Amino acid sequence: MPGLHQHVGKIFADLAVPDPLADGGDLECRSPVDGAVLGTLTSHTPDQVSAVIARSQAAFEQWRTVPAPVRGDLIREFGQLLREHKSALGTLVSIEAGKIESEGLGEVQEMIDICDLAVGLSRQLHGLTIATERPGHRMMEQWHPLGVVGVISAFNFPVAVWSWNTALALVCGDAVVWKPSEKTLLTAIACTGLLRRAARAAGAPEDIATLVLGGRQAGEVLVDDERVALVSATGSTRMGKQVAPRVAARLGRTLLELGGNNAAVVAPSADLDLTVRAVVFSAVGTAGQRCTTLRRLIVHRSVKDDLVRRLTAAYRSLPIGSPLESSTLVGPLIDDAAGQAFTAAVGTARAEGGTVVTGGTVHEQISQELGGCYVRPAIVDMPAQSTVVRTETFGPILYLLTYDDFDEAIRLHNEVTQGLSSSIFTLDLREAERFVSATGSDCGIANVNIGPSGAEIGGAFGGEKETGGGRESGSDAWRNYMRRATNTVNYSPDLPLAQGVTFS
Ligand code: NAD
């Protein structure tokens, strides 16, 4: 559709980044809004990826000598550019990932927020001073820059996840090579262009922020290259299971942010008005394509009928359509394959005894009118936590499970292989505290009276079990991007040995 292509051209002009789209490349850039090809780009060959890593390594060797607070100045400048171009970048996210306007802007805001956090951190990358057992000695730890960080990212947060990694890695003194999803290359080119512009303005080596384009093969070069000290990979559990052993084989570091299968427990005392609003946003926002999307609702039998009635009414009134229209709340799935996976999962749920309460079909009329793949979000009542319920299908399907006893709710909640995010809706203090305790939710994120999606950057983000165990963003996640050195300094003329050992 020429309209979207021209829109993209205008956005790149606004960002003062050259429009990269050309004809004849092997990577098709498609917009899920209309399913049409905007243009093409060309994959990097393995040799080209290797050359980018070499440039990144050289930039790292310079950058690590710059004091951390001065490195923070670069991130402040980048955050400023993001503020200036928030609207254009938000629209680009909507065009390329299909997010509605507010979520596209929210993704850019997330980049701005992590920049602010990183600027503050640039003066707080501290170690400890530790008491030693030896007189006239001092023991301390320091955190040093780590090296080249390879960032592999997924389509559904096309820029935020990269910025979480990159803002922290850069203030920590590292250089970043980014392999974005092959489905969202334009936002990656735009953001890298802005960051390199900020680097030029700050007098920093531009190659602290580099980009490699391609699919799995380009990612594999990063995974296998010993110069890449840390591989931070976000995507499916399938991808993580391929990446982790390869990086481990060379004893490199990984930071894994993989699939989720997030649940919420709705207890008898829940405030149902609030619960309905939270559930609809968490289950349907981003058309069910968030790693933290609510996929399983574990409802107490006493409130189930009332809740299902209210949820059904809310689902039936959801505006589905182009994410570029400000009234839309449910945009497209990323591509037709995602639509097929959605339909297949609803079919499997039926075969496993489920009853479709609402939705669950492709919206043929809107899909034909606009050209993308638009679906009606589904609620499916399940008799048990069967195979399909335990599987992450990346679309808006909410499975209902029923419980009678709180221990049963916790058991159902934890009985999946993923462990990313979770919630409980209750006004009962004992239930709330139990849910966030060691015997409650086994996820990396456990919330009370808010949904599982929509995290703030101040907390550490990530999950357990097959979600990969990584933590990014806030709290002490910066430590992932540094190496720790323990230093013992002897300022005495004697040489006492630890543990009372004598050697003379
Ligand atoms: P995906 O696994 O298909 O692809 C993710 C990235 O990995 C892409 O850049 C892809 O090219 C690359 N890749 C795939 N196989 C690879 C390999 N063997 N070696 C190196 N690179 C490889 O995921 P997707 O469809 O883009 O995204 C959806 C998935 O991502 C969902 O499972 C979702 O839950 C997950 N996700 C998780 C988080 C989180 O923080 N936990 C955040 C966003 C998305």
ipTM of the complex in this document: 0.98
Protein residue closest via CA to atom 24 of ligand 1: 154
Backbone angles phi, psi at 143, to 5 degrees: -110, 120
Mutate to test the pocket of ligand 1, among 93, 216, 254 (most ligand atoms within 8 A of CB): 216
Residue among 115, 93, 118 at smallest CA distance from 104? 93
Protein residue closest via CA to atom 9 of ligand 1: 181
Contacts of 224 (CB under 8 A, 6+ apart): 246, 250
Mutate to test the pocket of ligand 1, among 162, 224, 236 (most ligand atoms within 8 A of CB): 236
Pair type for strands 472-473 and 460-461: antiparallel
Centre of ligand 1 from the C-alpha of residue 240, in Å: 8
Residue among 412, 431, 169, 458 at smallest CA distance from 295? 412
Structure tokens at 41: 């780009």
Tens digit of pLDDT at every position of the chain (504 positions): 458 989 999 999 999 999 999 889 999 999 999 999 999 999 999 999 999 999 999 999 999 999 999 999 999 999 999 999 999 999 999 999 999 999 999 999 999 999 999 999 999 999 999 999 999 999 999 999 999 999 999 999 999 999 999 999 999 999 999 999 999 999 999 999 999 999 999 999 999 999 999 999 999 999 999 999 999 999 999 999 999 999 999 999 999 999 999 999 999 999 999 999 999 999 999 999 999 999 999 999 999 999 999 999 999 999 999 999 999 999 999 999 999 999 999 999 999 999 999 999 999 999 999 999 999 999 999 999 999 999 999 999 999 999 999 999 999 999 999 999 999 999 999 999 999 999 999 999 999 999 999 999 999 999 999 999 999 999 999 999 999 999 999 999 999 999 999 999
- Give pTM, 2 decimals: 0.98
Ligand 1 atom, smallest distance to 242 CA: 18
Ligand 1 atom, smallest distance to 259 CA: 34
Contacts of 36 (CB under 8 A, 6+ apart): 1, 4, 30, 371
What fold, for 262-448? Aldehyde Dehydrogenase; Chain A, domain 2 (3.40.309)
Rounded CA gap, 262 and 469, in Å? 15
- What Rg, from alpha-carbon coordinates, does the chain have? 24
Question: What pLDDT score was predicted for residue 1?
Answer: 45
Ligand 1 atom, smallest distance to 152 CA: 9
Residue among 416, 408, 406 at smallest CA distance from 295? 416
**Does the structural domain 4-258+468-485 have CATH classification 2.60.40.420?**
no
Q: Following DSSP, what letter does each residue of 475-500 receive, concatenated?
A: TTGGGGGEEEEEEEEE-SS--PPGGG
Centre of ligand 1 from the C-alpha of residue 251, in Å: 22
Centre of ligand 1 from the C-alpha of residue 113, in Å: 23
Centre of ligand 1 from the C-alpha of residue 235, in Å: 2
Question: What pLDDT score was predicted for residue 210?
Answer: 98
Quick check: is 369 catalytic?
Answer: no
Backbone angles phi, psi at 228, to 5 degrees: -90, 105
**What 3-state DSSP class applies to 390?**
helix
DSSP category for residue 265: E
Rounded CA gap, 501 and 465, in Å? 43
Rounded CA gap, 12 and 80, in Å? 17
Q: Please state the length of the chain.
A: 504
Protein residue closest via CA to atom 12 of ligand 1: 216
Protein residue closest via CA to atom 17 of ligand 1: 216
Centre of ligand 1 from the C-alpha of residue 236, in Å: 4
Domain ranges of the chain: 4-258+468-485, 262-448
What residues does ligand 1 touch, defined as CB less than 6 Å away? Answer: 152-157, 161, 179, 181-182, 215-216, 219-220, 223, 234-236, 239, 242-243, 257-260, 291, 392, 394, 420, 467
Tell me how crowded residue 24 is: count the other CB atoms within 10 A of its CB: 7
From 110, 182, 257, 472, active-site residue = 257
Tell me how crowded residue 442 is: count the other CB atoms within 10 A of its CB: 18
Where do runs of H (alpha helix) occur along 16-85?
46-63, 68-84
Residue among 407, 413, 361, 408 at smallest CA distance from 390? 413
Question: What pLDDT score was predicted for residue 2?
Answer: 52
Structure tokens at 481: 């991007």
Rounded CA gap, 71 and 339, in Å? 44
